[in-house]
Structure 1
Amino acid sequence: MASHPVDPRRPDAAYLSFWRERHLCTLTTLRPDGSPHVVPVGVTYDPEAGLARVITNKSSRKVAHVLAAGPDGARVAVCQVDGRRWATLEGRARVSADPARVAEAVRRYAERYGRVPSPNPSRVAIEIELTAALGRG
């Protein structure tokens, strides 16, 4: 089966279902020297808003990489894989410390991963404005 592009705002049912299953994902950001920084994360996908979200600590390297890109956001990708199935979401990431946005990211994380994360006053949300998606199911 070949990979295929997906409209990130209008995914087919199988693609969306895959993103609702519980899978560990990766987030790829770019270091200042342009080399990729790939770390495991939990990701939620909200096609209606055109966003993927990652919750993390504001002092993490991934947050530093996103912030270093400036106000236009950092180009990033999130990916998940399960055997031969895989899916990638690409877009521009920005960091939000807004309590309502962080709470929404936490709510969605709890829904997907089946647990509420421990309280963390240093938590932020990385919000990825989606520009592309692809996968193989």
Structure 2
Amino acid sequence: MTIDVRNPDPDYLAFWQEWQLCTLTTHRADGSPHVVPVGVTYDPRAGLARIITNRASRKVAHIRAAGGAGAPVAVCQVDGGRWATLEGTARVVEDPAAVAEAVRRYEERYGRRPAPNPDRVAVEISLTRGMGRV
């Protein structure tokens, strides 16, 4: 089922607010998929999904390697027969205010504040497509 990422139905949005471990799929230089577990927050008003991570991570390297236009990515979560995927273009964000906002949203969704990390960055995904069955 296709979802309007800026105006999702209440059940789809509620699913993205539950405590769920997600996956992020990026692409290596050879085009093969790189899939890793992540925490994701979804902000339909801004049309963004956000991930906090370390600037030295492979996912960050893959996104940066795509250049200034950003990297095509997907984030997904599954719980039994319920699933949701968000797709879009990812960019690495180092602005302290943007990283702090990503941390705040992570804390809100996952119920814990991550330990301070001077190497923390945020991945912001400008959403282009949503799908799922919740």
> With structure 1 as the length reference, what TM-score do the two structures score?
0.98
Identity of aligned residues (%): 72
Question: Which segments of 5 or more consecutive residues in structure 1 lack a partner in the other structure?
Answer: none
How far residue 79 of structure 1 moved from its aligned partner, in angstroms, is 0.2
Choose from 10, 13, 20 the match for 1:16: 13
Q: Give the structure 2 partner of residue 39 of structure 1.
A: 36
Q: Give the structure 1 partner of residue 62 of structure 2.
A: 65
CA distance in 1, matches of 2:98, 2:4: 24
How far residue 35 of structure 1 moved from its aligned partner, in angstroms, is 0.2
How far residue 126 of structure 1 moved from its aligned partner, in angstroms, is 0.2
SS in 1 for 2:113: coil
Q: Does 1:127 align with 2:124?
A: yes
RMSD: 0.2
Structure 1 segments of 4+ aligned residues over 2 angstroms from their partners: none
Q: Does 1:105 align with 2:102?
A: yes
For this pair of structures, how many residues does the alignment match? 134
SS in 2 for 1:110: helix
How far residue 111 of structure 1 moved from its aligned partner, in angstroms, is 0.2
SS in 2 for 1:20: coil
How far residue 86 of structure 1 moved from its aligned partner, in angstroms, is 0.2
How far residue 97 of structure 1 moved from its aligned partner, in angstroms, is 0.5
How far residue 5 of structure 1 moved from its aligned partner, in angstroms, is 0.2
CA distance in 1, matches of 2:89, 2:4: 16
CA distance in 1, matches of 2:68, 2:6: 23
